[in-house]
Chain A
Amino acid sequence: MITLQNVSFSYPSEAILTNFNLSLKRGTTTILIGPSGCGKSTILRLINRLIIPGSGAILIAGQRVTENNIQSLRLNMGYVIQEGGLFPNMTARQNISLMARRLAWPEEKISKRLEDLASLTHFPVDNLNRFPSQLSGGQRQRVSLMRALMLDPEILLLDEPFGALDPLIRLGLHESMREIFNRLKKTVVMVSHDLHEAAFLGDEIILMNKGKIIQTGPIETLIKTPAQKFVSDFIRAQRSHLPEVEND
């Protein structure tokens, strides 16, 4: 579904990715994990073309992403980031429905979709008329997720969506998310630095370091057969946060 071919990207001061290759299957949830600065967020930003690769190609459903087709591709790509990126000047409802309105969806279709999304994300419908500043952190992330899901995109890009939340709210959101991912069968790419989260939500985990993929696989593989000392170090560093090795 999403392919990065020999992609390089660098800032004037440092190279982030060099000849990077990655292929993600349709309908799977992939977690990009690794220490900060390893290039995991860069990959999401490249897929959405918020930044442009220095060389190489990015393909979505076999189609090369260019300046000309990115606008239409973005409509098929929901995007959620750490702070939610909600527009503070609009209510939750306006945030979620903005793009649908720009695409001239009929009013009933919008209302119906909003109701469905609210129930899917366990968001109280009454709160849809509130501004982001009047919502809790967890509710804001749910709104952000609803906004990303509004047009029913095939791809969902999540850049540390739970980063700024406290643990209890986080747990609640994790459960909602897993339910949503299982139900909707989207191609999800999520960036995280939390192994627990990755284990809980991901079909596949990609552990990165310094712009390179270190190991790919389900959490059990990473734990049982670490490819490098870095893998076991990374797991050990986060282990205390893991309850027990998950089975499902």
Chain B
Amino acid sequence: MIRNCNQKFFIGNSIVAILILHFIFLPIEGNAQTVVKIGSKKFTESVILGEIATQLAKSEQFSARHKAELGGTRVLWNALNNGEIDVYPEYSGTLRQEILANREVAGFSSVISYLDSLGIIAIGPLGFNNTYALGALQETAQKYDLKKISDLSKYPQLIFGFTNEFMDRGDGWPSLRRAYGLPQKDVRGLDHDLAYRALENGSLDVIDLYSTDAEIKYYNLLILQDDLHHFPEYEAYFLVRKELLKAAPEFIQALKKLTGRIDALKMSALNAQAKLEKIPAAQVAAQFLKSTFQLEQNYKKEALWGRIWQRTKEHLFLVLVSLSLAILISIPLGVLAAKIKTGGSIILGIAGIIQTIPSLAILVFMIPLLGIGAQPAMMALFLYSLLPIIRNTFSGIKDIPTPIFESAIALGLSHFDRLRFVEIPLATRSILAGIKTAAVINIGTATLGALIGAGGFGQPILTGIRLDSTALILEGAVPAALLALFVQGGFDVLERVLIRHK
């Protein structure tokens, strides 16, 4: 019959496709056995500690999954409380200054008892104090004769670059500035791994450091003495959900053996292996466990193509599910917006507002609702895909010339038939363009999903930024770009198939 009924099959097919992909891509959840879920933050030390815990769990014959590089403290803390992860490495200072910032906690013992009330135990300390510090290049230090943090107050022109967490945590920049009376106005928030590069090329004069950072030695940085003892201790612990005491007691015992076994020098050395010698974190952890506990780990490095295939599956899963849902919802909404007089601008307005929310913010908003992993990422991507499709459906229908629009009415076609035979087919080009835009935005934005544990091409990019490895960044960026191009080409072909008329 009429060619453009194709539309329906197109949508129907995409649902089937999602279901199939769902089965292919969803990892088969482990058997009844306990799966220990370990999280880590997106800096190298945390990833190494997470990897050590993961390998310890495996050596005790548990299934273990390491969700590495999950954004910042809040993401991990919420994930731990929701039971989406069982274990992650955390610092005493962070617990007091950030997580429990609004509570009066006298000593660390009261922190422990508060954690206990939440069903969390702290195992450690591991033996090193990774506190905050401020650092500068030796030549900057000599130029201004900087030795202590208080020396900074004499040079308001110095440019500071701090990690985003440091910018507003309890012991971070606001209180540091008050404590030392620092006059600097030019203070930028940025990623910790990028800060070293900015320091090196002279865009920044002073940055915050973690005292076990491998780069301190590598760049030969001067650590400014905390002469007013502003920074608290940052001793490392593993935060563990109590359920594991019953479910995996052997693993808890193994973790406890780590107490006091990693001193500052050791930790710096492990960080240096990963960051400077580019040894994968899993291998660093394996070597540590071997030398410390004579634990043999059968660590195997995944081949490049295997990794890329895995990332592609994760990425496609995020994009396809979110985009398909967005298509199913947005086309009817766009039609509705075009058909109803007043409500139309409301629909477009709401979709427009969603679009203006920064993608990182939307990802983090989703965590309390959907936890970490693929679901919140898909939800965020879904929300982002709405506007281009709704808007293009709306304008595609609105742009149908009045004579055609009115002819369809005058012919006696019902509302539904007008949509089916005239309006939707004529809006198809515009709708496809909207879907194409949404898909390309979606593929790009999905790389941020790695920050909340959704995997995809964002994972190697995150690791690449962390390890200053262009090769790794490209390993994520190139496939993502290729995928975007491929999808764009696919839509061009689809357009030619669906629209024969001029």
Tell me if B410 and A86 are in contact (CB < 8 A): no
Supposing A74-B412, A102-B413 touch, asked if A87 and B421 sit within 8 A by C-beta, the answer is yes
Supposing A75-B412, A98-B411 touch, asked if A88 and B404 sit within 8 A by C-beta, the answer is yes
Tell me if B410 and A50 are in contact (CB < 8 A): yes
CB-CB contacts of B412-445 with A at 8 A, as 1s and 0s? 1110010001100110000000000000000000
Closest residue of chain B to A83 (Cβ to Cβ) is B403
Tell me if A88 and B413 are in contact (CB < 8 A): no
Contacting residues, chain A, for B404 (C-beta < 8 A): 85-88
- Check if A79 is an interface residue, CB within 8 A of chain B: yes
Tell me if A84 and B412 are in contact (CB < 8 A): no
Inter-chain CA distance A99–B422, complex, in Å, is 12
Inter-chain CA distance A75–B409, complex, in Å, is 11
Inter-chain CA distance A157–B407, complex, in Å, is 12
Query: Which of under 10, 10 to 19, 20 to 34, or 35 or more describes the interface residues of B?
Result: 20 to 34
Closest residue of chain B to A132 (Cβ to Cβ) is B501
Closest residue of chain A to B424 (Cβ to Cβ) is A89
- Check if A36 is an interface residue, CB within 8 A of chain B: no
Taking CB atoms and an 8 Å cut-off, the chain A residues in 9-32 that contact chain B are none
Inter-chain CA distance A89–B408, complex, in Å, is 13
Inter-chain CA distance A79–B417, complex, in Å, is 18
B contact face: mostly helix, strand, loop, or mixed = helix
- Check if A48 is an interface residue, CB within 8 A of chain B: yes
Tell me if B502 and A88 are in contact (CB < 8 A): yes
Tell me if A86 and B414 are in contact (CB < 8 A): no
CB-CB contacts of B383-417 with A at 8 A, as 1s and 0s? 00000000000000000010110111111111001
- Check if B4 is an interface residue, CB within 8 A of chain A: yes
- Check if A101 is an interface residue, CB within 8 A of chain B: yes
- Check if A182 is an interface residue, CB within 8 A of chain B: no
Contacting residues, chain A, for B341 (C-beta < 8 A): none
Closest residue of chain A to B407 (Cβ to Cβ) is A85
Taking CB atoms and an 8 Å cut-off, the chain B residues in 34-72 that contact chain A are none
Nearest CB of chain A from residue B398's CB, rounded to whole Å = 16
Tell me if B410 and A74 are in contact (CB < 8 A): yes
- Check if A198 is an interface residue, CB within 8 A of chain B: no
Tell me if A94 and B403 are in contact (CB < 8 A): no
CB-CB contacts of B132-166 with A at 8 A, as 1s and 0s? 00000000000000000000000000000000000
Q: List 5 A-B contacts (CB under 8 A).
A: A79-B411, A81-B407, A87-B404, A87-B421, A88-B404
Binding site for B on A (CB under 8 A): 45, 48, 50, 71-72, 74-75, 77, 79, 81-90, 94, 98-99, 101-102, 131-133, 147, 157
Q: Which 10 residue pairs of A and B lie closest in terms of their CB atoms, listed nearest first?
A: A85-B407, A74-B412, A79-B410, A85-B403, A133-B502, A89-B425, A131-B501, A83-B403, A75-B412, A48-B410
